[in-house]
Amino acid sequence: MTNEQNNHQDAKNEQLNAFKNSNQGEKLSTNQGAKLSDTSQSLTAGERGPTIMEDFHFREKMTHFDHERIPERVVHARGFGAHGYFQPYESMKELTSAKFLQDPSVKTPVFVRFSTVVGSRGSADTVRDVRGFATKFYTEDGNFDLVGNNMPVFFIQDAIKFPDIVHAIKPEPDNEIPQASAAHDTFWDWVVQNRESAHMIMWLLSDRGIPRSFRMMEGFGVHTFRLVNDQGKARFVKFHWKPLLGTHSLTWDEAQKIAGKNPDYHRQDLWDAINNGEYPEFELGIQVIEENQEFDFDFDILDPTKIWPEEQIPVKIIGKMTLNRNQDNFFAETEQAAFHMGNIVPGIDFTNDPLLQGRLFSYLDTQLLRLGGPNFHEIPINRPIAPVHNNQRDGFHRMTINKGKVAYSPNGLQNNDPQTSSFAEGGFEHYQEKVDGYKVRKRSESFKDHYTQAALFYNSMSEHEKRHIHKAFHFEVGNVKDPKIKQQVVEMFSNVSHTLANEIAKGVGVEPPQSNNQEPQVSPSPALSQLQTTFSSNTRKVAVLLADGFKNKELQEMMTTLRNNDVHVEIVSKTLGKLHSDQNEPVDVHKNYSTTHSVMYDGIFVPGGKQHVDQLMTHKEAKDFIKDTFAHAKTIAASNDAVELFSTVLPQNSQLATKQSNNEMFNDHGVLTIQSEQLQDFSQTFLEQLAQHR
Ligand code: HDE
């Protein structure tokens, strides 16, 4: 890589560096730079007297503190960001003039913010919700914001309904209950009144609503955009992010328990992965439809409640994003990041998707309130690396010192500077689409089919994914108090699938569907099932349950294989400190049963050692740990003496061994046991099972 390319990649970082400040080795001062002799005692009239007005330091310190909050985002309040870069695999010149998609050797800096939608800033990470996936590309042509979600469709077709759906899904206004949840009356009342939400509800109540990690979820631009090339030729496009680790989810039971054990589970996971050098990677994919094919499909390509099935319109992978740097300051970077659909660059353009059109208004508007005025683009995280020159002036917290008398255009005094640029010179020109129509408040007939793709999604799920959807309905709709709404949900989803509607009815205690709705006839789209994803044991976490007197050789062999394959291993025991093997070799305990829980791991291993196993038999927490991991269908392995522990703890019918090879036994529940001191092959099998996720 040449120096110039390196510089481009680092340009954003260098820009941010200019604003960074560290207190290390420095003297305490006021905001005006006066050094201070004391910051822990107010200035008072006498040692036991009142505080004196003159105490400028007290007043400055307290006033600043009183003002240190800004409004949280009205939606997507809870989020977490990271820096990285994007690199195209090949030139996309044929399709777009966007500079950051031209040259595979150019790295464009990015900042990504992942978020939940409904919960407030302090809510838990693992709630059932849509996840935001917003990427700011700091391109040499200005910032391009791809503000997407981890689901490819949305609840509504028209932005004007957004305040309604958000009011319905947020906590109910009289008592502000429930937090970060759709499981309440107002949301489901809204759903049955808004049938266009059917498809999105299927995604939300599927495993996609409870991702295992931000690193293991897809991202989607949702709307149909345009790519425009140098010749001005345009095509329709949808954007996809595909995680290299595959798309994986928690179970509902895990998600709920993790929310209590570690509400920061997802942000911790992202932060740790980047700190460990395990940089999350996402490939950028595009689906392209030619302009003359706009009406070739049985859905409207501008309808944001529809996907473009991948089997029909394949996703072409065009580049990769790597997140390789954690932020230095959450507030300065993640909290002040201001995304906006209107941050666009030449070569990409909008379409008439009515949801997209409305978002183009909302994002700028919301930043004006949240960040306190029109100069939020000057906050370091939001600054483009491209030069900024215009006649916009003044306003709260203006940083730029614009020189000269001329702040208008056209002007003669400054020879018309700053000058506009033609399309050929890289000036943004809106795509000249012919639009002709009456002013109406009316949705096109082509947007009216709300059930075919909801059925496509449901029918493309594997049996266990369908079961998870049924259970999710039981929880979400089961929490609705009004029986009328529950019945309406059943009737609504009988338009998607009778099986689904009957399952919902059974679980929430209402009548099976009364209406005789037709189920849409669809053939599945395999790409929708998470069974089709990539599987890898990379960066997974394994707990080793231990007590004094374990067999160190077994422990070390397993740990070596796992660690050599980028699996994280933690030793969990009743108390922190050190444990000793049967030969008195010491090992450090990483977590005790109070500071962790089985839901924090993707698998467990228990080595042999009689004394150690006898003790685990008496540790209720160890037995619960094994039972829980088994119940969540994760990989569990025991060697030698520990096999007996498993047979005691696990349900009788769990069939510890259904298959035997090389002294090694395993079954399709992911339970692995071995009676041998040679664990090499066994640890490989464990690794393979771990990669299967469950
Ligand atoms: Fe947003 N959305 N949204 N949204 N959205 C916001 O902007 C809005 C929609 C998405 O990490 C807000 O800065 C309207 C779809 C993400 O900072 C606000 C409509 C998609 C984020 C807003 C939608 C999204 C937001 C709140 C209906 C996926 C977080 C704070 C037309 C494609 C960005 C803010 C971040 C945030 C409005 C629908 C994604 C109020 C009006 C569809 C990832 O402007």
- What is the pLDDT confidence band of residue 270, given thresholds at 50, 70 and 90? very high
State the DSSP code for 308: -
Task: Tell me: do 244 and 322 sit in the same domain.
Answer: yes
- Pocket of ligand 1 contains residue 153 by CB under 6 Å: no
CATH for 570: 3.40.50.880
At position 303, the amino acid (one-letter code) is D
Q: Which atom of ligand 1 is nearest to the CA of 220?
A: 32
The pair of structure tokens assigned to 295 is 């009406």
pLDDT in tens, 114-168: 999 999 999 999 999 999 999 999 999 999 999 999 999 999 999 999 999 999 9
**Residue 58 included in any domain:** no
- Pocket of ligand 1 contains residue 337 by CB under 6 Å: yes
**Residue 440 included in any domain:** no
How much is the pLDDT for 662?
45
Q: Which residue's alpha carbon is at the smallest distance from atom 25 of ligand 1?
A: 76
Please check if 267 is assigned to a binding site.
Answer: no
Average pLDDT, the chain: 95
Residue with the two structure tokens 């059943």: 490
Alpha carbon of 50 to ligand 1 centroid (Å): 49
How much is the pLDDT for 694?
83
Q: Which domain holds residue 367?
A: 79-382
Q: Report the pLDDT averaged over residues 415-420.
A: 97
Please check if 443 is assigned to a binding site.
Answer: no
Alpha carbon of 147 to ligand 1 centroid (Å): 7
Task: Tell me: do 551 and 585 sit in the same domain.
Answer: yes
- Pocket of ligand 1 contains residue 75 by CB under 6 Å: yes
Please check if 467 is assigned to a binding site.
Answer: no
Task: Tell me: do 277 and 371 sit in the same domain.
Answer: yes
Q: Report the pLDDT averaged over residues 515-529.
A: 93
Is 213 a residue whose pLDDT tops 70? yes
CATH for 273: 2.40.180.10
Q: Which residue's alpha carbon is at the smallest distance from atom 16 of ligand 1?
A: 132
Q: Which residue's alpha carbon is at the smallest distance from atom 27 of ligand 1?
A: 159
Q: Identify the domain boundary among 478, 503, 530.
A: 530
Q: Identify the domain boundary among 496, 530, 564.
A: 530
**Residue 416 included in any domain:** no
Which residues touch 156 (CB under 8 Å, ≥6 apart)? 162, 165, 194, 196, 197, 304, 305, 355
Could you tell me if the ipTM is greater than 0.95?
yes
Q: Which residue's alpha carbon is at the smallest distance from atom 14 of ligand 1?
A: 359
Exposure string over 565-601, b if 16+ CB within 10 A, otherwise e: bebbbebbbbeeeebebeeeeebebbbebeebbbbbb
Pick the closest to residue 630 from 668, 680, 595 (CA basis).
668
- Pocket of ligand 1 contains residue 154 by CB under 6 Å: yes
CATH for 489: 1.20.1370.20
How much is the pLDDT for 669?
57
- Pocket of ligand 1 contains residue 134 by CB under 6 Å: yes
Question: Which of 73, 238, 382 has most ligand 1 atoms within 8 Å of its beta carbon, as the pocket-test mutant?
Answer: 73
- Pocket of ligand 1 contains residue 358 by CB under 6 Å: yes
Cα dist. 648→617, 627, 644, 655, 660 in Å? 8, 10, 6, 12, 20
How much is the pLDDT for 489?
98
Q: Which of 76, 340, 450, 468 is catalytic?
A: 76
Alpha carbon of 359 to ligand 1 centroid (Å): 7
- Pocket of ligand 1 contains residue 326 by CB under 6 Å: no
Burial of 146 (0-12, 13-18, 19+ CB in 10 A): buried
Task: Tell me: do 481 and 619 sit in the same domain.
Answer: no
Q: Which atom of ligand 1 is nearest to the CA of 363?
A: 44
Q: Which residue's alpha carbon is at the smallest distance from atom 30 of ligand 1?
A: 73
Task: Tell me: do 174 and 291 sit in the same domain.
Answer: yes
Beta-bridged to residue 604, according to DSSP, are 543, 636
Residue with the two structure tokens 């069939």: 655
**Residue 602 included in any domain:** yes
Please check if 398 is assigned to a binding site.
Answer: no
Alpha carbon of 555 to ligand 1 centroid (Å): 48
Q: Which of 8, 57, 83, 149 is catalytic?
A: 149
- Pocket of ligand 1 contains residue 355 by CB under 6 Å: yes
Question: Which of 70, 72, 76, 112 has most ligand 1 atoms within 8 Å of its beta carbon, as the pocket-test mutant?
Answer: 76
Alpha carbon of 389 to ligand 1 centroid (Å): 28
Task: Tell me: do 549 and 525 sit in the same domain.
Answer: no
Q: Which residue's alpha carbon is at the smallest distance from atom 39 of ligand 1?
A: 148
Is 71 a residue whose pLDDT tops 80? yes
**Residue 9 included in any domain:** no
Task: Tell me: do 492 and 566 sit in the same domain.
Answer: no
- Pocket of ligand 1 contains residue 363 by CB under 6 Å: yes
Helix then strand count (H, E) for the chain reads: 17, 20
Q: Catalytic residue at 149?
A: yes
- What is the pLDDT confidence band of residue 2, given thresholds at 50, 70 and 90? very low
Q: Which residue's alpha carbon is at the smallest distance from atom 44 of ligand 1?
A: 363
- Pocket of ligand 1 contains residue 188 by CB under 6 Å: no
Question: Which of 117, 359, 361, 370 has most ligand 1 atoms within 8 Å of its beta carbon, as the pocket-test mutant?
Answer: 359
Total domain count, the chain: 3
> From CA 214, how far away is CA 224, in angstroms rounded?
24
Task: Tell me: do 557 and 510 sit in the same domain.
Answer: no
pLDDT in tens, 355-381: 999 999 999 999 999 999 999 999 999
Q: Among 105-119, 271-285, 604-618, 668-682, which stretch is predicted with the lowest mean pLDDT?
A: 668-682
- Pocket of ligand 1 contains residue 76 by CB under 6 Å: yes
- Pocket of ligand 1 contains residue 112 by CB under 6 Å: no
**Residue 672 included in any domain:** yes
Beta strand pairing call for 664-666 and 131-139: unpaired
Alpha carbon of 335 to ligand 1 centroid (Å): 14
Percentage with pLDDT > 70 across the chain: 96
Q: Which atom of ligand 1 is nearest to the CA of 365?
A: 44
- Pocket of ligand 1 contains residue 190 by CB under 6 Å: no
Please check if 215 is assigned to a binding site.
Answer: no
Please check if 457 is assigned to a binding site.
Answer: no
How much is the pLDDT for 7?
54
Alpha carbon of 83 to ligand 1 centroid (Å): 20
pLDDT in tens, 221-261: 999 999 999 999 999 999 999 999 999 999 999 999 999 99
Alpha carbon of 341 to ligand 1 centroid (Å): 9
**Residue 48 included in any domain:** no
Question: Which of 72, 74, 75 has most ligand 1 atoms within 8 Å of its beta carbon, as the pocket-test mutant?
Answer: 75
Q: Which residue's alpha carbon is at the smallest distance from atom 29 of ligand 1?
A: 76
pLDDT in tens, 459-507: 999 999 999 999 999 999 999 999 999 999 999 999 999 999 999 999 9
Task: Tell me: do 373 and 480 sit in the same domain.
Answer: no
pLDDT in tens, 652-688: 655 544 334 444 454 545 689 999 888 989 999 999 9
Alpha carbon of 363 to ligand 1 centroid (Å): 7
Q: Identify the domain boundary among 512, 530, 548.
A: 530
pLDDT in tens, 394-410: 999 999 999 999 999 99
**Residue 69 included in any domain:** no
* 3-state SS, residue 413: coil
Burial of 292 (0-12, 13-18, 19+ CB in 10 A): exposed
Beta-bridged to residue 240, according to DSSP, are 220, 285
> From CA 486, how far away is CA 493, in angstroms rounded?
11
Task: Tell me: do 235 and 348 sit in the same domain.
Answer: yes
Alpha carbon of 633 to ligand 1 centroid (Å): 35
Helix axes 641-649, 620-631, angle to 10 degrees: 70
Task: Tell me: do 225 and 273 sit in the same domain.
Answer: yes
Pick the closest to residue 249 from 129, 124, 120 (CA basis).
129
Task: Tell me: do 113 and 182 sit in the same domain.
Answer: yes
pLDDT in tens, 4-61: 455 567 899 999 999 999 999 999 999 999 999 999 999 999 999 999 999 999 999 9
How much is the pLDDT for 652?
64
Alpha carbon of 213 to ligand 1 centroid (Å): 21
Q: Which atom of ligand 1 is nearest to the CA of 75?
A: 26
Q: Which atom of ligand 1 is nearest to the CA of 366?
A: 44
